[in-house]
Structure 1
């Protein structure tokens, strides 16, 4: 009997994932699984934050020689000048780009019942949340929050691949609007966005506080968005059940 029950739980997770009913017109998701997923994905902005810090503030030179020689000369400020063998560091962001593409896929795939089935973190978090009582929340505010995360990721992708994005823009406009030989995006923008993302995901994981959902609720109240945040209106889940 326990084996049959376990198999039934596995089948149910594959069928529903973190949704109350994936076939419903209004989708609701298990907030416990959402918080677990945020914890799984938190490693990505943390890694990107340290990568950006190293890229922006780290040394751009690598000393290749075995000795640093004193030239017995000074500059105009009285600093002693030394002779070294060094090369200019070339940074390769292919791994970071692939990781950011995966994070962008995760942000977008969770927004819909069909695409969520292709998300590894949705599946893992749904399994991990199976043993706890679900907390159902409407999907619409989460979609808004994840769209904010997707925009942050897109900015970081542009920072790591400025020549690719510039090539697309220049091709689309048939004019050289963006330079292809230098990074035109200010360095502080992706660095700030990454650590803001870390803060948002930490609050989601540890505190259960969704900043994007609160912004969505505010926009609904002022009339800029039509979708109603049912969780903010104290929806009675006992009555729904």
Structure 2
């Protein structure tokens, strides 16, 4: 019960929260499967043929097209993509990223609980939560954008209902496919660097914004001193 309540936090009652970096990297490794799934989905949709041809029905017509290509006839079906599995995976990604933002909600994230459990026997490496929140915010934007891309009509209907006007079309995907293809690779790279290299790109961007005084951040390094080790060094 204690581990369920604290998850990966050093002390959930601290004014400035710190989380276990080892658990964060394990969680990133678990979430890595989500952008991989999206990459495979987008590759299948945009870079493979949408037509299913029955080879047994293909016959030569002995005619030529205007550019002198041989014309064949046969039974063909156009592939229809149904994005329900991708939608539910992205909904979970949005939920999990939001859950990590606070102490109370993090308890209900299966990946956070699992990563904290797997990191229990390793020496903890405490890092401030603020930069991680910023990085997860970027991931949240990417996941939400992909969710809209896979469900354009639902999103368009919602927007049109709110504004009582046909702002977005509901019969076509108004988002160019190049955008989600690029963003999903960015998301995959960010999670891979966090899980494998321990490099948090979102945290570096957060640090840059703090230096530019766009964001305010306390000196967390001052709050993470090992006073017991300092006392032992002075006594020695």
Q: TM-score, normalised by structure 1?
A: 0.91
The reply on whether 1:38 has 2:24 as its aligned counterpart is: no
Residue 118 of structure 1 aligns to a residue whose secondary structure is: coil
Structure 2 gap ranges (5+): 230-236
Q: TM-score, normalised by structure 2?
A: 0.93
Matched residues, number: 229
1:77-132 deviation per Cα after TM superposition (whole angstroms, max 9, x unaligned): 11101001111111100000000000111111001000000000000000110101
Please name the residue that 1:78 is paired with. Answer: 68
Alpha-carbon distance, 1:172 to partner: 1.2
1:165-197 deviation per Cα after TM superposition (whole angstroms, max 9, x unaligned): 100111111111111100000101111111111
Residue 72 of structure 1 aligns to a residue whose secondary structure is: strand
Structure 1 gap ranges (5+): 1-10
Q: Partners in 1 of 2:62 and 2:223 — Cα distance?
A: 78
CA contact (8 A) 1:19 1:30 kept: yes
Which residue of 123, 131, 143 maps to 2:133? 143
Q: Partners in 2 of 1:230 and 1:191 — Cα distance?
A: 37
CA contact (8 A) 1:110 1:122 kept: yes
Please name the residue that 1:157 is paired with. Answer: 147
Alpha-carbon distance, 1:65 to partner: 6.2
Residue 71 of structure 1 aligns to a residue whose secondary structure is: strand
Please name the residue that 1:239 is paired with. Answer: 227
* Alpha-carbon RMSD: 1.6
Residue 81 of structure 1 aligns to a residue whose secondary structure is: strand
Q: Partners in 2 of 1:219 and 1:96 — Cα distance?
A: 33
Alpha-carbon distance, 1:55 to partner: 1.1
Runs of 4+ with deviation above 6 angstroms: none
